Amino acid sequence: MAYVAVKGGREAIERACDLAEYRRQGAGSRPLELSQIREQLHLAVDRVMGEGGLYAPDLAALALRQAAGDTIEASFLLRAHRATLPRLGESIPDTTGEMRMVRRISSAFKDVPGGQILGPTSDYTLRLLELDRLDDPARRRQLIRERVFRDLPEPEDMPDTFPRVVELLRRDGLVEEPGTDDDEPFDITRRSVAFPAPRSARLQALARGETGGLLLLAYSSMRGYGHIHPTLAELRVGYLPLRTTHPETGDSVVVGEVLATEAEVVSRFSNPEGEPRFHMGYGLCLGHNEIKAISMGVLDRCMRTEAPTCPAEDQEFVLYHTDGIESMGFSNHWKLPHYVDFLSDLDRLRKARENASEKERTRARP
């Protein structure tokens, strides 16, 4: 729908688009290269890939640049592009046991089998603006590289797999086994979700949900507007092998790797029908996005509540209100012309005021 009453019509709209592009490009700064965005704004790129539902770092960087840094708009662009791509095949369902680890921590146990791997993180830094970076960024980059590669210890063989922390609890029967309620994974890109939705559909919707929306609802439960106060059993960030079936031999082959973040959370224990056990929630999303994976784990457990008492436990509420692209689209549509609707409301308001005035005059008569 176009702004039919805008002076200048189509030409004015085209000029407005040109002005937006000019502002995005900047007046005197150098154009951003995709490699700069992909490497130096990698967390934003990962967020766009996750919410757009397409693992394509270069395309996500392109969308982020085109959207002038607006991650929701960039996710919209990426998901729209995904809808135009042919589906060439399907990957083989697999576990995350063979993840090539970048980061692995647990807040449940100090010493875990295989050890904790801090990896790249800002968790232990002060949240202060580092203004000295403005002085000589090239020199700072050189100093960081020297500190990273100086006095490196002798390389140790990294295990191919790491035992799961939650297995320590499973071994003693201390954690529930949530399982799934569907034989085949539900594909939300091909089928409409009906409620109550199977767990695989819920996890898919959360995996491409908007990070801030997931965090809001998960936080509401953590603060007491719900019943899930989690402990992070294990958080993993690493590269997962992507397996598919060879078209000629029918064998399973690895065709690439996908960076992903996985979180397993446990919460308070209860089991009125048997032995008490910890509840468990699971989150897995594309890219390096720890807040999203943890929020997914909390909401996964919240939505398994049989009698919801808060928004975070209501499947329909959570899944319908955490898709940032749908939310943005509905909010943005209010910027389109609603002249007929508003004039109708205006006429009804005037009529109601006339009726109210007439009643007031009638009551005032002797």
Query: pLDDT tens digits, residue range 137-154?
Result: 778 788 888 888 887 777
Check if the beta carbon of residue 188 is closer than 8 Å to that of residue 177: no
CB atoms within 10 A of CB 169: 20
Query: pLDDT tens digits, residue range 85-107?
Result: 998 888 888 889 899 999 999 99
- pLDDT grade, residue 36 (50/70/90)? very high
Does position 60 have pLDDT exceeding 80, yes or no? yes
- pLDDT grade, residue 273 (50/70/90)? low
Dihedrals phi, psi of 268, to nearest 5 degrees? -55, 155
- pLDDT grade, residue 235 (50/70/90)? very high
User: Number of H helices and number of E strands within the chain?
Assistant: 13, 4
Which range among 35-49, 112-126, 271-285 has the greatest average pLDDT? 35-49
Query: pLDDT tens digits, residue range 160-197?
Result: 788 888 888 888 888 888 777 677 888 998 888 989 99
Cα separation, 228 vs 179, whole angstroms: 19
Strand partners, 177: none
Output the pLDDT for position 1: 39
For 271, counting Cβ atoms within 10 Å of its Cβ (0-12 exposed, 13-18 middle, 19+ buried), the class is: exposed
Does position 356 have pLDDT exceeding 90, yes or no? yes
Does position 122 have pLDDT exceeding 80, yes or no? yes
What b-and-e string marks burial along 180-200, b requiring 16 or more CB atoms within 10 Å of the CB? eeeeeebebeeeebeeebbbb
Cα separation, 66 vs 37, whole angstroms: 11
Does position 33 have pLDDT exceeding 80, yes or no? yes
- pLDDT grade, residue 272 (50/70/90)? low
Domain borders along the chain are 9-82, 100-120+159-327
Instruction: Compute the average pLDDT of residues 189-212.
Output: 93
Cα separation, 14 vs 16, whole angstroms: 5
Query: pLDDT tens digits, residue range 241-262?
Result: 999 999 889 899 999 999 999 9
